[in-house]
Structure 1
Amino acid sequence: MLPARGQFRIMDLVIRSGPCMRRFALLLSLTMLPLAQAGATNLDTATAGRIDADVNTVLARTGTPGAVVAVYRKGELLYRHAYGVRDREARLPATPDTWFEIGSITKQFTAAAILQLQEAGKLSIDAPLATYLPDAPHAGEVTLRQLLSHTSGLPEYLDGPDAEAFAIKPQTPAAVLARVAGKPLDFKPGSRWSYSNTGYFLLGRVIEVVSGQTYDQYIREHLLEPAGMRHTYTMADEGRLSPMAVGYRHEGGQLQRAPAIHDSVGWSAGNLVSTIGDLQRWNDALAGGKIVRPAHVALMGTSVTTTEHGSADYGLGLFVDKVDGQPRIGHTGGSFGFTTANEYFPRQDLRIIAFTNNGDNPEPGEMLTRVIFDQLYPALAAAAKRPAAGADPAATASDKAAFAQIQNGKVDGARFGARLTAKLQAGLGKRLAGQLGPFGAPTDFIYKGTRHENGMTWRDYLIVFGPGSTLKFGFGVDADGKVASISMN
């Protein structure tokens, strides 16, 4: 339900990253090192070996018990492997047929269902939510398109200190929506982008009202069955699925079984459970026009534009961004015990799917897709890490020190402007330390250039933490030479 990438902005801080509900931890060793268990490859031995090595490095560094990856080029299987264990206590190996929770990858199914209903003349994505759910929070202020693109401004129902306790118990739709009822919008609809599970929960209710079927019935009849997906279920079915992976996360540095989000809470925002093979059937069916018309497929993968910040890097149920300078369309997913990624690179006609049974952040699922892409296209990866000319060693040293303070949550204010210092010391610093600390110490701090925006000089870097783990980070420096703003992508 929780993506690895996205965008939100807080005053002097610009962040492109998903809202974080998980515990953050990063181990440098494993009790059981994940080794390849089963697989198939049409790659040369050297490339397959490098991918295996990098995948195992990511799994070991993140303490991930098991993973399954698959790569398709032009729709044909190029590489598939299972690593480690699906059940650590029983020492049961992961296999290509293992079921994993796919979290927010579910959102593209919800989006496709809404577009199907528009094609059938039963709704319009530009109509106000009130047309279909008049009693929903802010129903007269937001449109279905804004719900689909996370530009509605609706507050998040999974926020708050009690979010986990709420999420693991069965809930009614009324109880879910009561968590946001009465709260103001976070911003004017359409003006910004902020990831919102609330929007997709409401879309599930719209599907039910318009179709006359339950959400699960509609998805199975109109999406899963036409796509030939016979191995995709919901969280409610996990007890009868075998082989089903067990979800884990780190607590206090120790790997533990993670609690499960209840199906009624994840629901249309993230309740599907699938296999890599079935997810590829979905990819083929969607791209092939079997689910919605080609024009709507294109719309899903076209970034919306916000009035305040331009491109949202998100379409309708799909992220739209770049890796190594190459366009990427897809989605990540996460629950308390799983992180997954389903990524498409249109220039290469390449699809990479990665499932893991580790719910930590930074998310191993997306990291695996990154290392695989880098090994398949090493020249692109090398070019992306090439430093820009004109770096000032003293400025870079200062920025490294500033990043270390942010990462460690020990901001002393000497390097930062007064306004940003106040925000960091008021709680933002703790939040960023929780998000950035688990990445570990950077292995490289690559200068990518200087720009001038909003009266500040911005110095941009690519910060590398290991295979598949990088951040684009910028420091906005004011006239006094202090960091007045930061950005992260």
Structure 2
Amino acid sequence: MASTPSRRTLLTASLAGVAAASLTAPAEAAAGSARGTTQRIDEIVAAIRPPGVGITVAVSKHGRTIFTKGYGLRDRGKPDVFTGEDFFEVEQLDDRLHLSRGKRPATGDTIYNLGSISKGFTSAAVLRLHERGKLSVHDPLGKYLPGFPRGAAITLLQLLQQVSGITDYNQFPLFEPAYDAFVASGERDHSEVVAKLQTLPLQFPPGSQYAYSNTNYLLLGLVVQKVTRMTLGEYLAQSFFRPLRMRDTRQSYPELGSRDVALGYYAAADGVRRAYQWNLPWMLGAGGITGTAEDLARWDAALLRPGLFRAETLQLMFTPNLGSYACGWVAQTYEGKPLIWHNGTVGGFHAMHALFPDDGIAVVLLGNDQTTQAQLDPSATAVFDAITAAR
């Protein structure tokens, strides 16, 4: 997701104190190298502005988390001065979770809004069902949403690869009545969103162009729910979160009782301001997940080792169609080797994680100031360089 929303325009998703650290080394002789790596990562994060931004970094290598560290402040304390308009009009996280307030440091276990990193999990849910014969990625969307115009011409794979031509539903005031109906339903029913989409023309013939649209992953989330007869969150928890011990990752707001939770901010010319919380159930498969860097490191490590998916499924997941977008991931290269990544920006948060499959390394950076995107994203390769330089 992207920048501060207003009643007139809601921008679409982007393609877009110090806690203790741990960096393991196989032998005592490697201790100096490990210290040097930690120092280099510290320097990378210290260069990110604004000062005090809450950031958590986690790195996994060959299926094992080797580095986790929190930097800056997950909560800048009161008084809160908000920026933008409270379009979604949902409870702020500190009120929803009854958080005690103050200048609180980010840690390795801090929970952040993950934004469009959620798309990788929605893709994984669809591909798990594809593997098990519950659906096919080549099925037409109309099989699951019979009333959808041109639903017979749009496949689930085209939704996954962002080549469907369906317009983004995060446009206001166009979808404002649909949002109001969603809220009135208890934040459970997206039918008015789908009904509005059915009245709009496609941007282009399906499969002919690439256009990033959150609607693709909203619809995929609805398909998962229809096939499994579970909520998307329940299916993700059953299939991935619980088996991988991703204890703090949820398809929704953090669990009541959570305390190490980041609040979202937005750095402006006149200072850092609180950002209003976005409605995560509204985002569904497009950007509704919250979680920790440690949990994402577990997820990335599982993707990089055999067992979670078949080899042919992973190849499908990471192979782009038009341009570099694959199935919930961007597939590019870095220094001649594969680099697979996705980022996410939503309501005062920016997140970035990247897989370097040839080296078995994954890097996660989660931050609580959405203006850090231009700095946080390239920091993933910088952290990778720091890790590999220690060999």
- What TM-score comes out, normalization by structure 1 length? 0.64
Q: Give the secondary-structure state (helix, strand or coil) at the position aligned to 1:107.
A: helix
Tell me by how many angstroms 1:325 deviates.
4.0
Backbone CA RMSD of aligned residues: 2.9
Q: Give the secondary-structure state (helix, strand or coil) at the position aligned to 1:362.
A: helix
Q: Does 1:75 align with 2:86?
A: no
How far, CA to CA, are the matches of 1:267 and 1:298 in structure 2?
A: 25
Correspondence 1:91-102 to 2 at 5 A: 91-102=103-114
Q: Which of 286, 293, 313 is the equivalent residue of 2:310?
A: 293
Q: Give the secondary-structure state (helix, strand or coil) at the position aligned to 1:234.
A: coil
Q: Give the secondary-structure state (helix, strand or coil) at the position aligned to 1:235.
A: coil
Q: Is the 8 A contact 1:125 1:145 kept in 2?
A: yes
Q: Which of 187, 200, 203 is the equivalent residue of 2:217?
A: 200
How far, CA to CA, are the matches of 2:141 and 2:37 in structure 1?
A: 50
Q: Does 1:245 align with 2:245?
A: no
Q: Is the 8 A contact 2:165 2:211 kept in 1?
A: yes
Q: Is the 8 A contact 1:38 1:83 kept in 2?
A: no
Q: Give the secondary-structure state (helix, strand or coil) at the position aligned to 1:51.
A: helix
Query: CA 1:315–1:93 in 2, change beyond 3 Å: closer, same or farther?
Result: same
Structure scoring higher RCO (CA < 8 A, sep ≥ 6) equals 2
Q: Which of 130, 136, 155 is the equivalent residue of 2:142?
A: 130
The percentage of aligned residue pairs carrying the same residue is 32
Q: Is the 8 A contact 2:297 2:363 kept in 1?
A: no
Q: Is the 8 A contact 2:131 2:313 kept in 1?
A: no
Q: Give the secondary-structure state (helix, strand or coil) at the position aligned to 2:215.
A: helix
How far, CA to CA, are the matches of 1:37 and 1:166 in structure 2?
A: 43
Q: Does 1:51 align with 2:41?
A: yes
Quote the residue 1:261 is aligned against.
Answer: 278
Q: Is the 8 A contact 1:70 1:79 kept in 2?
A: yes
Quote the residue 1:223 is aligned against.
Answer: 240
Q: Does 1:273 align with 2:310?
A: no
Q: Is the 8 A contact 1:342 1:352 kept in 2?
A: yes
Correspondence 1:381-460 to 2 at 5 A: none
Q: Which has the larger Rg?
A: 1
How far, CA to CA, are the matches of 1:260 and 1:164 in structure 2?
A: 17
Q: Which of 72, 78, 87 is the equivalent residue of 1:84?
A: 72
Q: Is the 8 A contact 2:110 2:262 kept in 1?
A: yes
Quote the residue 1:457 is aligned against.
Answer: none
Aligned residue type for 1:234: Q
Aligned residue type for 2:61: R
How far, CA to CA, are the matches of 1:165 and 1:64 in structure 2?
A: 39
Q: Give the secondary-structure state (helix, strand or coil) at the position aligned to 1:37.
A: coil
How far, CA to CA, are the matches of 1:117 and 1:174 in structure 2?
A: 23
Query: Aligned pair count?
Result: 345
Aligned residue type for 1:101: N
Tell me by how many angstroms 1:324 deviates.
4.0
| Higher strand residue share | 1
Correspondence 1:4-43 to 2 at 5 A: 20-21=11-12, 36-42=18-24, 43=33
Correspondence 1:153-192 to 2 at 5 A: 153-160=165-172, 170=183, 171=187, 172-192=189-209
Post-superposition Cα deviations, 1:224-257, rounded to whole Å, max 9, x if no partner, equal 2222222212333455322111111134543111
Tell me by how many angstroms 1:69 deviates.
0.3
Tell me by how many angstroms 1:156 deviates.
0.5
How far, CA to CA, are the matches of 2:144 and 2:176 in structure 1?
A: 30
Q: Is the 8 A contact 2:52 2:73 kept in 1?
A: no
Post-superposition Cα deviations, 1:345-381, rounded to whole Å, max 9, x if no partner, equal 1232221111101122634442331332344467xxx
Q: Give the secondary-structure state (helix, strand or coil) at the position aligned to 2:370.
A: coil
Q: Does 1:141 align with 2:153?
A: yes
Post-superposition Cα deviations, 1:446-465, rounded to whole Å, max 9, x if no partner, equal xxxxxxxxxxxxxxxxxxxx
Structure 1, unmatched stretches of 5+, are: 4-18, 24-34, 307-311, 379-489
How far, CA to CA, are the matches of 1:181 and 1:239 in structure 2?
A: 36
How far, CA to CA, are the matches of 1:80 and 1:167 in structure 2?
A: 38
Tell me by how many angstroms 1:165 deviates.
11
How far, CA to CA, are the matches of 2:284 and 2:42 in structure 1?
A: 34
Tell me by how many angstroms 1:132 deviates.
1.2
Tell me by how many angstroms 1:223 deviates.
2.1
